[in-house]
Amino acid sequence: MSSAQETTFLKDSAAKAFDMRHRQIINYNIDKYDVAVQSGLLQFQHLENARRKAHIIKWKVMENLDKLLPEFESNFLRKGGKVIWANDAEEARQEIWKIMERSGAKTVVKSKSMTTEEIELNHFFEGKGVKTVESDLGEYIVQLLNQKPYHIVTPAMHLSLQDIAALFHQHFGTPPDATAQDLTLQARKLLREQYTAADVGITGANFLIADTGSIALTENEGNARLTTTFPKIHIAIVGIEKVIPSLADLDLFWPLLATHGTGQRLTVYNSIIGGPRQEGETDGPEEMYVVLLDNGRTDLLAQKEQRQGLYCIRCGACLNGCPIYKNVGGHTYNTTYSGPIGSIITPHLRGMEAFKHLSYASSLCGKCTEVCPVKIDIHQMLLLNRRDAVASNIVSKSEKATWKGFTFAMTKRWVVDLLGGKLKNILLSRFFKKAWGKRRNLPFVAPKSFAQQWKAKDKAD
C-alpha cells in the first residue's frame, strides 16, 4: 500500500533526478565539501579511534538517558534557567507560546535550528502574527524563498550564486550580478538590527552538557551568539538525544562535527551557555529556557536494534556521501531530516506507514556508514526498517506475493531452470517493466541458465 508521502516522493524524485541544472549545482557544492573534508580529517592522528570513542559515548548516553537528562536539568536550574519537557511538537509549540504571551513578545530572531523546523515553529508563529527572522544566512535565503532547508548543515546548498543574487535583487534591489561578498554584507546590514530589536531569541543546541547544565552551540557566522546575547529571553529547543555526559566530551565531539560537517579543524564560533545573565555579567538574556523535545525519540529509543539513529550529531556527512541524495535532492524527502539519516529516523519519528518508503530510497552502497563520525551502521538500519515494515504488514499484497514467489523460485533450482530464457524475458517485460523504470532497458536473460550451461560444459569436456 502506497502512502501519499510515497507517491509524492516517487513523483518529485523522478523529476529532480533528471534536472541537469540541479545536478550540476549540487555536485559542484558537494565536490567542494569533499575536498575540504579530506583535508580536515588529516588533523586526526587516529580517526577510527576517535569515531569508535564517540560511538561508545553515545551508546552510554542512550543507556543512561534517564539519568543524564535529570542531571542536566538539575544543574541548569541551579543557574537560574528553566527546563520544559515536551512530549511532541504541539506541546513544544504551546509551551513556547505561553512564554511569548506572558512576556508580551511580538518579534523573534532565530539562529539555525533543525528542531524548530521539526516542530514547524515559523509556520506556527506566522499564524499567531509574530514576526520571525532567520539569522543564519542560508536559512534567511530559504525563508525568503518560502522553502524548507535543503540540507541539515547547508540549507541553501541547492542554489547557485546567481540564484541568490537574483533573489536579493528582487527583494532588496541589489545588483543582479552582485558578488558573494556583496550579498553577505547586504544580509549583515539587514539582519544586524534584528538582534537588538527582537523580544525573543530562539536557538537549537548541538549538545546538552549534563555535568555543567549548559548548552553548546557551534556556528560559523556569529548569528547564534548574537541571538543569545541581545534579546531579553532565550529559548533553546533541543532533542533529548543531544545530551553528552561531560564538558570534556566536547574535546572529541566539536572537532568531529566540524571536520565531517564542513571540513574545518574547528568551526569559527563555539559557545557554551549555562543559563540567563548572572549578577555582574554585561550581556545575555534575563530569562533562559531549554525545551527538551521528545517528539518520537523515545519510540526510536525503544527499538533496541535501531536506536543507533539517535547517536547522530547532525554533521550531514551521510547526505553528502549518498548517491541517492545527490540525485534527488533534499526537498523530495519532504522531511526535516533528509538523506540516509532521515531515512532511518523519520519512519520512527513520524510513522512507519507514511514514511517506510524512505528506507527503500537507498542503493545500500554503505557510503553513509563509512563516513559517519559516530559509526552509526546506517545501511543496516535501513534494512531493519524494511524488515519492520513487512513485519507490521504495511506493504502491499502484490509486493508480498512477488517476494514470496521470488523466494520460492530462488531456493529451488529446478523452478528457475524450468522457465526458459524466452519465458523469463516475457515475464520481465510484462510484470517488471514499469518497476524497472522507463529510462532503463530491462536486462536480457540468456536462453539457458548458468547451471544449465555449466552442465553442458561438463558434458562437452
- The percentage of residues in the chain with a pLDDT greater than 70, rounded to a whole number, is 99
Q: What is the pLDDT of residues 246-257, one digit of tens each?
A: 999 999 999 999
H or E segment at 269?
strand 269-273
Does 460 have pLDDT greater than 90? no
> 278: domain CATH number?
3.40.50.10420
Q: How confident is the model at residue 401 (pLDDT cuts 50, 70, 90)?
A: confident
* pTM across the whole model: 0.91
Per-residue cell: 325: 541524495
Interval 29-40 mean pLDDT: 94
Q: Facing residues of 235 across strands?
A: 202, 289
Per-residue cell: 138: 542560508
Do 144 and 256 fall within a single domain?
yes
Assigned domain for 406 exists? yes
Tell which of 269, 295, 321 closes a domain.
Answer: 295
- Of 364, 373, 320, 323, nearest to 344 by C-alpha is 364
Q: How far is CA 279 from CA 76, 103, 229, 257, 272, in A?
A: 16, 21, 15, 33, 18
pLDDT at 245: 98
pLDDT at 101: 96
347/134 Cα distance (integer angstroms): 28
Cβ atoms 133, 194 nearer than 8 A: yes
Total number of residues shown for the chain? 461
Lowest-confidence segment of 70-84, 347-361, 372-386, 431-445 by average pLDDT: 431-445
Assigned domain for 189 exists? yes
pLDDT at 409: 80
Q: Tally the domains of the chain.
A: 2
Assigned domain for 101 exists? yes
- Of 341, 309, 256, 314, nearest to 59 by C-alpha is 309
Tell which of 295, 323, 352 closes a domain.
Answer: 295
Does 398 have pLDDT greater than 70? yes
Does 159 have pLDDT greater than 70? yes
Cβ atoms 200, 233 nearer than 8 A: yes
Domain region containing 158: 44-295
pLDDT at 433: 79
pLDDT at 43: 92
Tell which of 267, 295, 323 closes a domain.
Answer: 295
Q: To which residue does cell 528553566 refer?
A: 82
Position 440, amino acid: R
269-273 sheet: strands from edge to edge: 243-244, 207-209, 214-219, 269-273
Q: What is the pLDDT of residues 330-346, one digit of tens each?
A: 999 999 999 999 999 99
Interval 217-229 mean pLDDT: 95
Assigned domain for 14 exists? no
pLDDT at 42: 93
H or E segment at 82?
strand 82-86
Assigned domain for 449 exists? yes
Per DSSP, 310 falls in state: G
Do 51 and 192 fall within a single domain?
yes
Does 1 have pLDDT greater than 70? no
Q: How confident is the model at residue 202 (pLDDT cuts 50, 70, 90)?
A: very high
- Of 330, 336, 344, nearest to 377 by C-alpha is 344
Assigned domain for 236 exists? yes
Do 287 and 411 fall within a single domain?
no
Q: Facing residues of 270 across strands?
A: 218
Per-residue cell: 380: 543496516
Do 288 and 421 fall within a single domain?
no
Q: What is the pLDDT of residues 52-78, one digit of tens each?
A: 999 999 999 999 999 999 999 999 999
Assigned domain for 377 exists? no
pLDDT at 417: 75
91/98 Cα distance (integer angstroms): 11
CA dihedral defined by 151, 157, 159, 161, rounded to 10 degrees? 150
Q: How confident is the model at residue 397 (pLDDT cuts 50, 70, 90)?
A: confident
Lowest-confidence segment of 111-120, 258-267, 302-311, 448-457 by average pLDDT: 448-457
Assigned domain for 83 exists? yes
Do 61 and 201 fall within a single domain?
yes
pLDDT at 143: 96
Does 399 have pLDDT greater than 90? no
Handedness of CA 224, 228, 234, 237 (dihedral sign): positive
Q: How far is CA 136 from CA 9, 198, 341, 356, 400, in A?
A: 28, 15, 23, 32, 46
Work out the mean pLDDT of the chain and round it to a whole number. Answer: 93
Q: CB neighbours of 426 closer than 8 A, spacing ≥ 6?
A: none
Cβ atoms 218, 128 nearer than 8 A: no
> Residue 91: phi, psi to the nearest 5?
-65, -40
- The percentage of residues in the chain with a pLDDT greater than 90, rounded to a whole number, is 81
410/416 Cα distance (integer angstroms): 7
